[in-house]
Amino acid sequence: MVDVIIIGLGCAGYTAAIYCARYKLSTLIIGDKEGGTGMAAAEVGDWPGTQFITGPELMENFKAHALTFESVTHKLARVEEITKTADGFSVALQGGETVAGRTIILTTGTKHRLLGVPGEKEFSGKGVTYCATCDAFFFKGKDVAVIGGGDAAVEGAAIAAQVARTVYLIHRRKEFRAEPYWVDRVRARDNVRSVLERQVVEIIGDKKVTGVRLDKPWDGSDTITLDGVFVEIGADPDSGLAKSVGCALDERGFVKVDAGMSTSVPGIFAAGDLTNASNYFAQFVTAAGEGGVAANSVFHYLHSGH
């Protein structure tokens, strides 16, 4: 049995692992997706002390740092269930293996929100993708749409515009909600066309995506001919594990935590984009901060006799 099992291989998880190791706690960090949503960041310009780095590079740095500690064990596996035991928790993994820990830190982050229109499921992987910054390269010289108006969508459009022939940035509101830096980047590109106050009601195609249908005409037609569609309409908390073990969630499905990142279940802590902390400001800096606080709380919890 280890002192702490961290579930989630992203920014919050690796930061928590680093701090747990510094507190000399035996630590297992486990998850089925290396790097979390940080892997989708093509450019990171707001990590203090580093003016520019890609998301994958930053996450590799986090992982390498955490694994320099002998007390940290890393495992790539899907967690199926968490069960309370007399002296801690049992964690069941896909394939039948179980691991045991005195405490848990949940850092499972978020999952992409689906558009929920006809054609989305049928053409997923056949022109429909959920990460413009990850997949834009595959659409070099082609026409694509990015759906959404937040940071991920507008950043994705700016990145896609570097390789695509035309990028249609489709947003249901009058104005984008993204950071002004990315809005300015998009407006500086002459191959990005803003399709505002429109919603996609269907993704159309044959064996692969051929276009989208809008809820009302734009530029004389209710359809846009495309080779690819990037759905970037936000994310929902990946809180299924937390809910199943009894952690209280807020009305939006995020895990409720106190100032010390404690959940409603004694011995279980949470950090990062999964939580209702940090004003829901999902950033590398907030995820890292919450991960460090969670590790500190685990240390005090274990040393208070639990």
Annotated active-site residue in 131, 143, 151, 227: 131
Q: Does 248 lie in the same domain as 219?
A: no
Question: Coil, helix or strand for 284?
Answer: helix
Over range 20-27, report the average pLDDT.
98
**What element of type H or E holds 17?**
helix 11-22
Over residues 190-208, mean pLDDT: 96
d(C-alpha 182, C-alpha 40), whole Å: 15
Last residue of a domain, one of 179, 200, 231: 231
The structure tokens 């990142």 sit at 261
**Is the pLDDT assigned to residue 305 strictly greater than 90?**
no
Q: Provide the token pair at 277.
A: 């902390």
Report residue 198's pLDDT band, with 50, 70 and 90 as the boundaries.
very high
Domain edge (last residue) among 189, 213, 231: 231
Report residue 132's pLDDT band, with 50, 70 and 90 as the boundaries.
confident
Q: Is residue 56 part of a domain?
A: yes
Segment 179-188 mean pLDDT: 93
Residues 222-253 have pLDDT tens digits of 999 999 999 999 889 999 999 999 999 999 99
CATH, residue 156? 3.50.50.60
One domain for residues 152 and 175: yes
Q: What integer pLDDT is reported at residue 40 of this predicted model?
A: 79
Q: What is the mean pLDDT of residues 182-210?
A: 96
Averaged over 196-225, what is the pLDDT?
97
Q: What is the mean pLDDT of residues 248-263?
A: 98
Residue 118 lies in a domain: no
When pLDDT is cut at 50, 70 and 90, the band that residue 218 belongs to is very high
Position 176 pLDDT exceeds 80: yes
DSSP 8-state code for residue 100: E
| Spatial distance between the Cα atoms of 102 and 117, rounded to a whole number of angstroms | 44
* Mean pLDDT of the residues in the chain: 95
For residues 220 and 256, membership in a common domain is answered with no
CA distances from 296 to 24, 242, 261, 269, 291 (A): 11, 20, 9, 11, 9
Same domain for 240 and 108, yes or no, is: yes
Radius of gyration for the alpha carbons in the chain, expressed in angstroms and rounded:
21
**119 part of a folded domain:** no
212 belongs to a structural domain: yes
134 catalytic? Reply is yes
Helical spans, DSSP H, in 42-168: 55-66, 132-135, 151-160
* Confidence tier at 133 by pLDDT (50, 70, 90): confident
Residue 42 pLDDT more than 80?
no
Q: Which residues pair with 255 in a beta bridge?
A: 249, 275
Give yes or no for residue 143 having a pLDDT over 90.
Answer: yes
Among 11, 20, 134, 247, the one annotated catalytic:
134
The pLDDT score that the predictor gives to residue 43 is 80
Q: Per-residue pLDDT tens for 71-122? A: 999 999 999 999 999 999 999 999 999 999 999 999 999 998 999 999 999 9
When pLDDT is averaged across residues 207-213 and rounded to a whole number, the result is 96
> Phi/psi class of residue 229: alpha, beta or left (left: φ > 0; alpha: ψ in -120 to 50)?
beta
Report the distance separating Cα 92 and Cα 85, nearest Å: 12
pLDDT(306) > 90 = no
* 4-18, 43-57, 138-152, 167-181: range with lowest mean pLDDT: 43-57
Does 247 qualify as catalytic in the annotation? no
Last residue of a domain, one of 197, 231, 265: 231
Same domain, 247 and 195: no
Pair 95, 151 in one domain: no
Query: Does a structural domain hold residue 225?
Result: yes
The number of distinct structural domains making up the chain is 2
Whether residue 288 sits in one domain with residue 197: no
CA-CA distance, 291 to 271, in Å (whole number)? 5
**Catalytic residue (one of 32, 135, 222, 250):** 135
> Could you tell me the residue range of the domain that residue 272 belongs to?
2-112+235-302
The torsion angles phi and psi of 128, rounded to 5 degrees, stand at: -95, 125
Given pLDDT bands bounded at 50, 70 and 90, which one contains residue 38?
A: confident
Half-sphere exposure of 95 (CA within 13 A, CB side): 8
The pLDDT assigned to 259 comes to 98
pLDDT at position 41, please? Answer: 81
Which residue has tokens 């594990």? 241
Whether residue 122 is contained in a domain is answered as no
Q: Domain check: are 280 and 193 in the same one? A: no
Q: Are residues 281 and 201 in the same domain?
A: no
- What does the pLDDT average to over 22-46? 91
206 is catalytic: no
Position 82 scores a pLDDT of 98
26: in domain: yes
Q: Quick check: is 120 in a domain? A: no
